[in-house]
Amino acid sequence: MKIGHHLKVLIVDDDVLICNVVRDLLEEAGHTVAGTAHDGRQAIEMVQSLRPDMVFMDIKMPEMDGLEATRLIQAQCPTPVILLTAYDDPELVEQGSRVGAVAYLVKPPSLGEMTRTMAMAWARFADLRLLAYANEELKSCLRDIRVLHGVLHICNRCKRICNDAGGWEAVDTYLSAHTNLQFIQAICPDCVPLLSPDQPFPRLNLPPSPPTP
């Protein structure tokens, strides 16, 4: 959804007057107010039940403040949160960013300020979600990478490998258990003459080796 579309917004503030001001501005801008909460706990419950597109969150409230509510919302039901603050405090802004808020407004906001902030918040939230998705994909890839390191004891005669339990395993069995390698049974050209006619064995169709310079 683009910010040009009408958004469903949850307002969270223990000041009824501020709630009404923000509601009027949102409706003037063509958005829908999904509901109004007056403390952090109620905000979390309403985000889970109403699934708003965006939340306007006051910072200082009873029961649970807006920072803790924002942190829990991002953990449970990620939603763009714009913090509402009575004054421009860089420290509060930094705290809000750490818990997942994407923007802030000094209240009471003007229509122009609110519209611009909503657009920036929507774009930043989309970027953060893409970044989080990319990080999860990277973590998943790293979990799939299994690397052998250290010293392996290999039998000089049969070429089996000693495992951690002290047993001896064939090389392909050991590597299959400790890496992401998969083995396909085949036969090399040098071993083909050693096979009897009643011992068919798959052969790999490999490209010819490049000529030696």
Question: Which of 136 and 55 is assigned the larger pLDDT?
Answer: 55
Question: Which of 142 and 47 is assigned the larger pLDDT?
Answer: 47
pLDDT exceeds cutoff 60 at 96: yes
Instruction: For residue range 136-193, list pLDDT tens digits in order.
Output: 877 777 666 656 667 778 888 888 888 888 899 988 888 888 777 777 777 777 776 7
The pLDDT value recorded for residue 208 is 55
The pLDDT value recorded for residue 2 is 44
In percent, the amount of the chain with pLDDT more than 90 equals 45
Question: Which of 62 and 46 is assigned the larger pLDDT?
Answer: 46
The pLDDT value recorded for residue 129 is 81
**Buried b or exposed e, range 30-52, using 16+ CB within 10 angstroms:** ebebbbbbbbbbbbbebbeeeeb
Kindly report the CA angle at 192 between 171 and 197, in degrees rounded to 5? 115
